[in-house]
A = this chain, B = another copy of it.
């Protein structure tokens, strides 16, 4: 049993949902409520350490919607719970997603309250998918957003995803690699992610390899005999002895020495990289690069670059794949319309914008200055971000972007952000998201109407 391309096991996906979705579905079926619902996916608040989020995770969602069905095994489980009537389970047998999806392209910077995705579908379909949609957009968006910061900090030097082991589980390990690539990382250590997403993969040796040999020099010599252009990890015992062992190997091998780089994984990376560079250069090994790893994040990468550390590449692990400084995002998926009428919650601080919407990015001199959230029928504000990616359950061309296209979207869209938003420190002035006059009037009207009814 192998995973499908986007990592969602099709036969289980339909019940990767909260029980309340199925409870509601059974009621909708019984009551004959088949009207079209519009749901909007958005987040309410940026984490304190983020100036923007980089939208990601749409492709897994579309793959899920295209393949959505209840397997016999899933139906048997639902029946075994005693919570569902036979007639309802029968109806689930033929359940498919027949709706439409509009969404921002993966790799687009997004901001609070602006829709990232909107679903229009019969209410049962639109409701069931909530849990998986939020789950998948959340993990990819959180991890892409973190990766974008690390890539920014590295100022063009390559960043490699080393963090599969520390990600929150199997899917997160794969999605981390995918999201990192969208955000501009050059490769991943994760072999399965390489296979699933056709990503460049990277990785040579661990400390355990060095330790398994009788000494470090023997380890290097044997590894290089198999991989002449490898990267040698030099800090298992002592990084200075390590680089001296590399130099000794270069003398033994002469013209046959083609080692591409050395890696430092601990200690004071700024100081060590300078000393290692000095020793490599003194030995004529100017072409041998230095890559570093070990507890890195965007702040440490920025510090190393500020210290003029002669580092050619960064392997970033735990922080990249957990986004531990901002590991949660309050993505919500709210009913915005049912059967043609606007809908919203009125709970304090939890109100949402009713109706089908669009987001327009307004740019001046090539720089984004604000996003305008408007009704989907409004035009003329700026560049619309929500594209139709699925109609009647089928992907459109806009729903079939390649990972390299998403990566290019991220590169160009991030470059258009105001400079303070690209800094690691919190921007003094948050990016402006404004609601159009027409949507404001519509929201007020719906709110008045609902307040009268409750």
A230 CB → nearest B CB, Å: 8
Contact of A347 among B123, B127, B202, B236 (CB under 8 A): B236
Docked complex Cα distance between A78 and B168 (Å):
25
Contact mask for chain A residues 410-440; partner B; CB cutoff 8 A; 1 contact, 0 none: 0000000000000000000000000000000
CB distance from A349 to the nearest CB of B (A): 7
Among B135, B344, B350, contact of A170 (Cβ-Cβ < 8 Å): B135
Q: Is there contact, CB below 8 Å, between A191 and B15? A: yes
Q: With the chains together, A343 CA to B208 CA distance in Å? A: 9
Does A319 contact B328, Cβ atoms closer than 8 Å? yes
A134's partner among B10, B81, B165 (CB-CB below 8 A) is B165
Q: Would A237 and B328 count as touching, CB distance under 8 A?
A: no
Contact status A16-B191, CB under 8 Å: yes
Cα A324 to Cα B335 in complex, Å, equals 27
> Contact at A23–B205, with CB atoms within 8 Å?
yes
Interface string of A165-207 (1 = CB under 8 A from B): 1111111111100000000000001111011000001111111
Which residues of B sit under 8 angstroms from A174, Cβ to Cβ?
Answer: 16
Give the size of the chain A interface in residues (CB under 8 angstroms): 120
B18 touches A135 (CB 8 A): no
Q: Mark A24-44, 1 if CB is under 8 A from B, else 0.
A: 101110110101010100000
A312 on the B face (CB < 8 A): no
Interface status of A376 (Cβ within 8 A of chain B): no
CA distance A235 to B173 in the complex (A): 37
Q: How far is the CB of A88 from chain B (nearest CB, A)?
A: 10
Q: Which chain A residues (225-255) contact chain B, with CB distance < 8 Å? A: 226-227, 230, 235-239, 241
Tell me, yes or no, whether A309 is within 8 Å of chain B by CB: no
Q: Judging by beta carbons under 8 Å apart, are B238 and A350 in contact? A: no
Cross-interface CB contact of A204 among B20, B30, B222, cutoff 8 Å: B20
Contacts A19-B201, A168-B142 given; indicate if A194 touches B81 (C-beta within 8 A).
yes
Q: Copies per complex?
A: 2
A354 to chain B: closest residue by CB: B211
Q: Is residue A3 within 8 Å, beta carbon to beta carbon, of the partner chain?
A: yes
Q: Which of B26, B212, B238, B322 has a CB less than 8 Å from the CB of A328?
A: B322
Interface residues of A in 6-22 (CB under 8 A from B): 7-12, 15-22
Tell me whether A276 is interfacial, beta carbon within 8 Å: no
The stretch of A99-107, A363-371, A446-454 in contact with B is A446-454
Say if the beta carbon of A164 comes within 8 Å of chain B: yes
CB atoms of A8 and B170 under 8 A apart: yes
A31 touching B203 in the complex, CB below 8 Å, given contacts A169-B135, A237-B346, A346-B238: no
Q: Does A327 contact B (CB under 8 A)?
A: yes
A137 to B10, CA, bound (A): 25
A282 contacts across to B, CB distance below 8 A: none
Which residue of the partner chain, among B1, B139, B208, B226, contacts A1 with CB atoms under 8 Å?
B1
Closest residue of B by beta carbon distance from A10: B1
CA distance in complex: A74, B164 (Å): 18
- Whether a CB of chain B sits under 8 angstroms from the CB of A86 is no
Residue of B nearest to A22 (CB): B191
Q: Are B207 and A172 neighbours in the complex by a CB distance under 8 Å?
A: no
Contact partner of A131 among B165, B194, B205, CB < 8 A? B165
A256-306, CB < 8 A from B:
265-267
A189 engages B19 (CB within 8 Å)? yes
The residues of A with any CB-CB pair to B shorter than 8 Å are 1-4, 7-12, 15-24, 26-28, 30-31, 33, 35, 37, 39, 71, 73-74, 77-78, 81, 123, 127, 130-132, 134-136, 138-139, 142-143, 162, 164-175, 189-192, 194-195, 201-209, 211-212, 214-216, 222-223, 226-227, 230, 235-239, 241, 265-267, 318-319, 322-324, 326-331, 334-335, 338, 343-350, 450-451, 453-454
The 3 closest A-B pairs by CB, nearest first: A19-B203, A169-B171, A20-B203
5 more CB-based (< 8 A) A-B contacts, given A27-B223, A35-B212, A168-B172: A12-B192, A15-B195, A26-B226, A131-B164, A168-B322
